[in-house]
A and B are shown apart, each in its own frame.
With several copies, the nearest count.
Chain A
Amino acid sequence: MSMFGIGKNNQTINPQNIAMAEQEVEMMSDIFNRLVMTCHKKCISPKYYEADLTKGESVCIDRCVSKYFEANQSLSQHMQKRGQENPTP
């Protein structure tokens, strides 16, 4: 808009950009927290005989995260297809 303003303009804060980036972070941290709780319930025995993860628990965690991502991915596609078939009013 102004000959000299280009660089400056580029340096103003657009609240919408921030809000979108925040929402992205919010969503990632929500997914992460749910993943932690879900795989904890699936893999960690509530006996707590030792402070370290056992071999079995470690392997279970890896597989749990892998399956959770797969489920998330396939549900995301499933929902998109559903959304196209029944567009919300």
Chain B
Amino acid sequence: MDRLNVKEQEHLTQVLEAKQLKEYLNMYSTLTQNCFSDCVQDFTSSKLSNKESECIAKCADKFLKHSERVGQRFAEFNAKYMGQ
């Protein structure tokens, strides 16, 4: 990406910002789907129980922390393997 000129980098930045929003929305959808699947097993009611709500909130927090930690390691390994 170093091969790009200033104009190209500006354009790319715009493209990447749109992509980042898309990635965020996708991550949010994945998180909702996975936490719902893991936490909600009972369909005798149409409201979430307290236990289910708590589980979903913890699941989401954990997912985000997991994702951040993977991101940190990813960046480190990427730097290391690029440098080879």
Contact = CB atoms under 8 A, between A and B. Distances in A.
Interface of A: 10-14, 17-19, 21-44, 46, 48-53, 57-76, 78-79, 82
A60 B11 CA distance: 39
Nearest to B31: A75
A38 B31 contact: no
How many B residues touch the partner, as a band?
35 or more
B71 to A, nearest CB: 7
A26 B52 CA distance: 28
Contacts of A13: 7-8, 11
Given A32-B71, A38-B33, A72-B32, A44 B57 contact: no
Interface of B: 1, 3-8, 11-12, 15-16, 18-19, 21-23, 25-26, 28-41, 43-48, 52-53, 55-67, 69-71, 73-74, 77-78, 81
B12 to A, nearest CB: 5
A50 B47 contact: no
5 contacts: A25-B19, A29-B23, A40-B63, A52-B62, A63-B46
Contacts of B32: 34, 68, 71-72, 75
